[in-house]
Amino acid sequence: MTRTAPLDLVAADDLFSDEERAIRDTVRKFCADRIRPHLAEWFEKGELPARDLAREMGELGLLGMHLQGYGAAGTNAVSYGLACHELEAADSGLRSLVSVQGSLAMYAIYAYGSEEQKNEWLPRMVTGEAVGCFGLTEADFGSNPGGMRTNAKKDGSDWVLNGTKMWITNGSIADVAVVWARTDEGIRGFVVPTTVKGFTANTVPGKLSLRASVTSELVLEDVRLPADAVLPHSKGLASPLGCLNEARFGIVFGSLGAARDCLETAIAYASDREVFDKPLSAYQLTQAKLAEMALELGKGMLLAVRIGRLKDAGTLKPEQVSMGKLNNVRVALRIAREARTILGANGITLEYPVMRHANNLESVLTYEGTSEVHLLVIGQALTGVGAFR
């Protein structure tokens, strides 16, 4: 019997243009050739050759791909989503590298920067020559970044920054940090070259998740910056949250990439593995698991495409991004855990990608707004009442 493509029961493939598919296929091939062979090793060692990868990714056009001008590829949002999907099918850490570079660091400069700041940084960030990071979270202020302690004070025409940022992706390999700090005029963004005096970045040790990604603490001690280091169009907390919406969008597609890889692995494993003298795939319990996984993957994909089309139409609302991020990361994590059971003891090793994905998705569930925060965003949209505090 011919098998229906299990990874695309809803035939989402038909919803994409030739160009979108070509971009997706290119990223898939790039990951198969250049990334996948090394993932288990990177994850085990907790190391990622991020700067080299950034150059290769820049050559493809992955960095800031959905921005216009400054050498960026200028694709639509759905293409960006599909690229995230393929990257995260390899590893969430790779997608994180691209999300932080394109949707957080570059987008902040792109949306709130001066023309000089854009010309100085964006072309080099497109090629991967310069790597960026995005410092919003602090150890005591994650879900509630508005409470941040990092501050920027005027001294003559200069700015002087003090504070510590935590959990910052790409922090210790970055050339430029977009740092959010409290000022007399509210929260504002600063473009901080990482070579500046008083700036240090320390890698966070002991992670059990997103090990193929650099996560750091940023320490700013009397960091003195010229007047033009502030992002002139940044005003209040809405500015960093605008960036987060961009990155969350990538996760709507990305998380399902990890799920797809898990389902694909589980189906292949169940077909090969014999238990009690017949293939594991021939048991009703196994089929029920696989069917549930394919169902959730398919529904999530339709949601992602819908959200992507809304973004391209320019009508996407934050609560819609929240819905996509909440649902798709949640189902991806469930799929990864369920796939893990099918692999038995083999499932706990790095020989298969499944537990690596499951562990990664724990971070994805937490960053870019935890699931609880997204429930509250949707709740607020439904009731008109904020229940965050």
Partner 1 sequence: MPNIVVLVKQVPDTYSERKLASADHTLDRASADAVLDEINERAVEEALQIKEAQGGEVTVLTVGPERATDAIRKALSMGADKAVHVSDESLHGADIIQTAKVLAKAIGTVEGYDLIIAGNESTDGVGGAIPAMLAELLGLPQLTHARKVEIDGTSVKVERETDAGRTFLEAALPAVISVGEKINDPRYPSFKGIMAAKKKPVTTLTIADLGIDASEVGLANAASQVLESAPKPPRAAGQQITDEGDGGSKIAEYLVSQKLI
The residues that touch partner 1, with contacts defined as CB under 8 A, are 18-19, 22-23, 26, 29-30, 59-62, 65, 73-75, 79
**Closest Cα to residue 246, out of 148, 343, 321?**
321
Among 147, 341, 350, 351, binds ligand FAD (CB under 6 A): 341
Contact pattern from residue 87 through residue 126 relative to ligand FAD, giving x for each residue in contact according to CB under 6 A and a dash for the rest: -------------x--------------------------
CB of residue 200 vs ligand FAD: minimum separation in angstroms? 17
Q: Select from 56-64, 114-122, 149-157, 281-289 the region that touches ligand FAD (CB under 6 A).
A: 281-289
151 interacts with, out of ligand FAD, partner 1, none, CB within 5 to 8 A per kind: none
Rounded Cα gap, residues 292 and 55, in angstroms: 39
**Minimum gap (Å) between residue 175 Cβ and ligand FAD:** 15
Q: Which residues pair with 71 in a beta bridge?
A: none
Q: Quick one: what does residue 242 bind among partner 1, ligand FAD, none, with the CB cut-off 5 to 8 Å set by partner type?
A: none
Residue whose beta carbon is closest to ligand FAD = 142
Per rule CB under 6 A, is residue 238 in the interface with ligand FAD?
no
* Choice between 17 and 349, CB closer to partner 1: 17
Among candidates 21, 19, 93, which has minimal Cα distance to 57? Answer: 93
Separation between Cα atoms, residue 154 and residue 159, nearest integer Å: 5
Long-range contact pairs involving 32-41 (C-beta distance under 8 Å, separation at least 24) = 35/87, 35/90, 35/91, 35/94, 36/90, 39/90, 39/91, 39/212, 39/353, 39/356, 40/350, 40/351, 40/356
Query: From CA 372, how far away is CA 386, in angstroms rounded?
Result: 13
Q: Which stretch binds ligand FAD (CB under 6 A): 166-174, 254-262, 294-302, 329-337?
A: 166-174
- DSSP letter for each residue of 167-221: EEETGGG-SEEEEEEEETTEEEEEEEETTSTTEEEEEPP--SS-TTS-EEEEEEE
The number of beta carbons lying within 10 Å of the beta carbon of residue 296 is 21
- 4 secondary structure, DSSP code: P
* 267 and 105 Cβ atoms separated by less than 8 Å: no
**What residues are annotated to the active site?**
368
Residue 355 touches which of partner 1, ligand FAD, none (CB < 5 to 8 A by kind)?
Answer: none
Among 63, 168, 243, 293, which residue sits at the site for ligand FAD (rule: CB under 6 A)?
168
Q: Residues 127 to 156: which contact ligand FAD by CB under 6 A?
A: 134-137, 142-143
Amino acid letter at 262?
C
Can you name the residues that pair with 192 across neighbouring β-strands? 177
Residue 181 Cβ, how far from ligand FAD at the closest point, in Å?
Answer: 12
Radius of gyration of the chain (CA): 21
291 binds, among partner 1, ligand FAD, none (CB under 5 to 8 A by kind): none
Q: How far is the CB of 19 from ligand FAD (least distance, A)?
A: 30
Residue 166 backbone dihedrals phi, psi, to 5 degrees: -130, 150
167, interface contact from ligand FAD, partner 1, none, CB < 5-8 Å by kind: ligand FAD
| Residue ranges in contact with ligand FAD by CB under 6 A | 100, 134-137, 142-143, 167-169, 210, 215, 273, 275-276, 280, 283, 285-286, 341-342, 344-345, 348, 363, 366-367, 370, 372-373, 388
